[in-house]
Chains A and B, each alone.
Chain A
């Protein structure tokens, strides 16, 4: 972690059909942290990521990546959407999907060549999916599909990675493989923002955390702010007491 601010969000408000999903969010994410965004269903976790990435238009507020608007810093940012947002019966192969990560750098019309293919193969190897490179994507298991999505983001070779529930519906082996890659990325100085649901693993996996429930409850180092007080504020129940019942 350095003193540099990778992501700065000021007064961000997002609404779907007049119902606020995110309310007046201020957030600073320092460079080089592995940050979890936690909060109950409907807390706006995915929406926050999508607003930062410009997929959703906020009704108010500003977002900067290293001090500049997202449009100027696109090449520094990679995104792993939720696995369920695409149709996995689409007629394409694992390597083709990973190659899509290079499209942004290529820009309009230009086709991926040997250099892009090599990068895609390397990324597939990193996530342990090289053997499946020519597999039709519908014939991959849920965990394998998630790895393919991760490989696609790795190919983007970004400084900041946004991931929407990368551990959703994957088995223990895949979860370990993915978290090891995330930790490796952090060691390389990358900033990672991960929507996460499993509160048990937060202290083990992450060094930074943001509690979100429409409003920002707290943000900071896991060791300082990951406590009962914030969990109760975010989830509305005393988390530990409720579990022990």
Chain B
């Protein structure tokens, strides 16, 4: 199946539609909540939580013996939350720093989870196979009820976010100040963290424990490059996430037969790369262009200053001089001369240039900081 065939099939094939819808909704909710994680500088929290969810999945299976997704994910939710609150506990109760706490809980829980998985595999029970799909995710196992759950949680999340928008925003920006205003910051904090855990748990089936944090961070990091407005950032992150989901599913469902989770993550990474290069204002390309523009401006100013030096020795500043006279000066080209003529600083006639009043006063005030430099932005 090629990519075009995929999009043809998308609307007729039930399985394909379910999976695509699932990855799109997952991408959207992860982008949305990932923005919170990125802005709180808790990018690595996602990684720790997703790894902390693994023992929950294994224990849920051991206790119930069922491989029902909802039961396993409930186990993941509980163990993810326990991991999160342990991390917070370690940070507030000991001298350890955040990164140490995250690393500690991540490896501890993940190690315990792997231990349980191998234990389960050794059991003489035919029912045990397939739990390891939660390591790297398997989008193909998504069924309609899974997608419904994702849609419900996303909707719930959206409502809460809109309701507490003001509180979330101020809390993300200045938590201590929020506390002095009388808001229960602990409640807001727990609410945000709970939603991040929820999004991660939802994604485990599709993307898996190991790559889940990328789903949270990549769309948010891309979105931050394009806007300086929180609402736009969260909207864009949701959009990028959903798009990564759809494109990733399309690529993996076509000929290539690649595993869906990693492909989705790679597509999201392409978004990050493109955003870092092409976004206006913060992008690398924009910065390079701005740098060149500044260099051209400087060139122009240097030439103008040289002309000023020559013109100021004459009583009449408009006295024409041969263009040749500028030859020894490295900053002069036909192009800079033309540009200066456009700005009305000089007039050029028959291989000779003459300074205008405007050019003269510009040159006089060239390094005057207080003067409004109107020519730097064009």
A residues at B contact (CB < 8 Å): 17, 50, 53-55, 71, 74, 77, 79, 81, 85-87, 90-93, 97, 100, 103-104, 106-112, 136, 138
Q: Is the CB of A87 within 8 A of B41?
A: yes
User: A-facing mask of B147-189, CB < 8 A → 1, else 0?
Assistant: 0000000000000000111110110111011111111000000
Additional 10 contacts, C-beta under 8 A, given A104-B183, A110-B166, A111-B166: A54-B180, A90-B230, A91-B232, A92-B173, A92-B229, A103-B181, A104-B180, A107-B182, A109-B166, A109-B167
Supposing A92-B229, A108-B167 touch, asked if A86 and B181 sit within 8 A by C-beta, the answer is: no
- The complex places the Cα of A14 from the Cα of B217 at a distance, in Å, of 38
Q: Is the CB of A106 within 8 A of B166?
A: yes
Interface size on B, residues (CB 8 A): 28
Q: Is the CB of A90 within 8 A of B166?
A: no
Interface centre among A74, A104, A112 (most CB of B within 10 A): A104
Q: Which of B166, B170, B176, B183 contacts A85 (CB 8 A)?
A: B176
25 A-B pairs within 8 Å (CB atoms) are namely A53-B179, A54-B179, A55-B180, A71-B182, A74-B180, A74-B182, A81-B176, A86-B173, A87-B39, A87-B173, A90-B39, A90-B230, A91-B224, A91-B232, A100-B169, A100-B177, A103-B167, A103-B170, A103-B181, A103-B183, A104-B180, A104-B181, A109-B167, A112-B166, A136-B228
Distance in Å: Cβ of B359 to nearest Cβ of chain A: 30
State the 10 A-B residue pairs at the shortest beta-carbon distance, nearest first: A104-B181, A136-B228, A74-B182, A79-B180, A53-B180, A86-B174, A91-B230, A91-B228, A100-B170, A90-B173
- The complex places the Cα of A50 from the Cα of B176 at a distance, in Å, of 9
B324 cross-chain contacts in A, Cβ below 8 A? none
Q: Which of B39, B165, B174, B230 contacts A81 (CB 8 A)?
A: B174
Q: Is the CB of A93 within 8 A of B228?
A: yes
User: A-facing mask of B177-219, CB < 8 A → 1, else 0?
Assistant: 1111111000000000000000000000000000000000000
Q: Is the CB of A92 within 8 A of B228?
A: yes
- The complex places the Cα of A103 from the Cα of B166 at a distance, in Å, of 8
B164 cross-chain contacts in A, Cβ below 8 A? 108-109
Interface check B95, CB cutoff 8 A = yes
- The complex places the Cα of A124 from the Cα of B39 at a distance, in Å, of 26
Interface check B15, CB cutoff 8 A = no
- The complex places the Cα of A12 from the Cα of B243 at a distance, in Å, of 56
A85 cross-chain contacts in B, Cβ below 8 A? 174, 176
Complex: chain A residue closest to B164, CB-CB: A109
B residues at A contact (CB < 8 Å): 39, 41, 95, 163-167, 169-170, 172-174, 176-183, 224, 227-230, 232-233
Distance in Å: Cβ of B184 to nearest Cβ of chain A: 9
A71 cross-chain contacts in B, Cβ below 8 A? 182
Complex: chain A residue closest to B233, CB-CB: A91
B182 cross-chain contacts in A, Cβ below 8 A? 71, 74, 104, 107
Distance in Å: Cβ of B265 to nearest Cβ of chain A: 24
Q: Which of A54, A55, A97, A109 contacts B163 (CB 8 A)?
A: A109
- The complex places the Cα of A100 from the Cα of B95 at a distance, in Å, of 32
Complex: chain B residue closest to A88, CB-CB: B173
Distance in Å: Cβ of A140 to nearest Cβ of chain B: 12
Distance in Å: Cβ of A237 to nearest Cβ of chain B: 32
Complex: chain B residue closest to A138, CB-CB: B228
- The complex places the Cα of A71 from the Cα of B182 at a distance, in Å, of 7
Complex: chain B residue closest to A86, CB-CB: B174
- The complex places the Cα of A91 from the Cα of B230 at a distance, in Å, of 5
Distance in Å: Cβ of A147 to nearest Cβ of chain B: 16
Distance in Å: Cβ of A204 to nearest Cβ of chain B: 28
Distance in Å: Cβ of B165 to nearest Cβ of chain A: 8
A109 cross-chain contacts in B, Cβ below 8 A? 163-164, 166-167
Q: Which of A50, A53, A92 contacts B230 (CB 8 A)?
A: A92
Complex: chain B residue closest to A137, CB-CB: B228
Distance in Å: Cβ of A144 to nearest Cβ of chain B: 16
Q: Is the CB of B176 within 8 A of A91?
A: no
Complex: chain B residue closest to A56, CB-CB: B176
